[in-house]
Amino acid sequence: MAGGSGARFGGHKQFASLGGRPVVDWSLEAAGASCSGVVLVVPVQFLAEHEGRADRVVAGAGSRAGSVRAGLEVVPADAVVVVVHDAARPLASPGLWAGVIGAVLDGADAAVPCVPVTDTIKQRQPDGRLVTLDRSLLVASQTPQAFSATALRAAHASGAEATDDAALVEAMGGRLVEVPGEPSNLKLTGPEDLRLAGALLEGRLCS
């Protein structure tokens, strides 16, 4: 998934340079090493530029869920497992990809990498009050998220919107399982995240 506008980043972060390569290249490489086929979803204005960089390259839609549906339309009908990953998470390890795929092959409808929440989280109420949540019950979800292809297609058939695909599968009663996520699998939101990713990547390449 590389179809976002990168508004908070100040530009298309998925095409920014990381370790001398576009950010999206790192996710494409990871996907290609873990899956039998790769679909790249990009903004329509980048479609021609990125043609041939994956098995299929398609234009995204006006929402994340719509963009996933655009990609899902060209996934072969006989696919058993579909993995959805954000280009803006370029540091997901091969082990994380294997973990979520393995959980679906073991029978889950969806496998979601999660990391513990370390900050104290407060929920803003309609009247402006803040309520402190029990962080021991909270986790932050990441991608790649893996799905039974049947469950993911059914979840998207309604045309519903959500911030991630696991929420759509959950809403239709699918069984989600948690896979240990990785603190280093950060999501690039602002320019400072790109600098941090560069430092993490340099450390990984030098180790």
In a domain, 6, yes or no: no
In a domain, 69, yes or no: yes
Please give the pLDDT value at position 77.
Answer: 96
In a domain, 105, yes or no: yes
Here the tokens at position 163 are 């911030």
CATH number at residue 138: 3.90.550.10
Please give the pLDDT value at position 13.
Answer: 83
| Cα(91)–Cα(100) distance, integer angstroms | 15
In a domain, 197, yes or no: no
Please give the pLDDT value at position 6.
Answer: 60
Please give the pLDDT value at position 3.
Answer: 84
Q: Which residues in the chain land under pLDDT 70?
A: 5-10, 206-207
Here the tokens at position 44 are 């329509």
In a domain, 118, yes or no: yes
- State CA 191 to chain mean position distance: 19
Please give the pLDDT value at position 10.
Answer: 62
Full residue range of the structural domain in which residue 103 is found = 13-185
User: In terms of Cα–Cα distance, which of 20, 63, 22, 67 is closest to 42?
Assistant: 67
In a domain, 8, yes or no: no
Q: What does the DSSP assignment read for the chain? A: ------TTTTS-GGGSEETTEEHHHHHHHHHHHHSS--EEEE-GGGHHHHTTSSSEEEE--SSHHHHHHHHHTTS-TT-SEEEE--TT-TT--HHHHHHHHHHHHTT-SEEEEEEE--S--EEE-TTS-EEE--GGG-EEE-S-EEEEHHHHHHHHHT----SSHHHHHHHTT--EEEEE--TT-----SHHHHHHHHHHHHHHHH-
In a domain, 114, yes or no: yes
Query: Looking at the 3D structure of the chain, how many domains does it have?
Result: 1
Please give the pLDDT value at position 190.
Answer: 87
Are 34 and 94 a contacting pair, CB within 8 Å?
yes
In a domain, 200, yes or no: no
Please give the pLDDT value at position 7.
Answer: 61
Tens of pLDDT, residues 83-111: 999 999 999 999 999 999 999 999 999 99
Answer yes or no: pTM beyond 0.85: yes
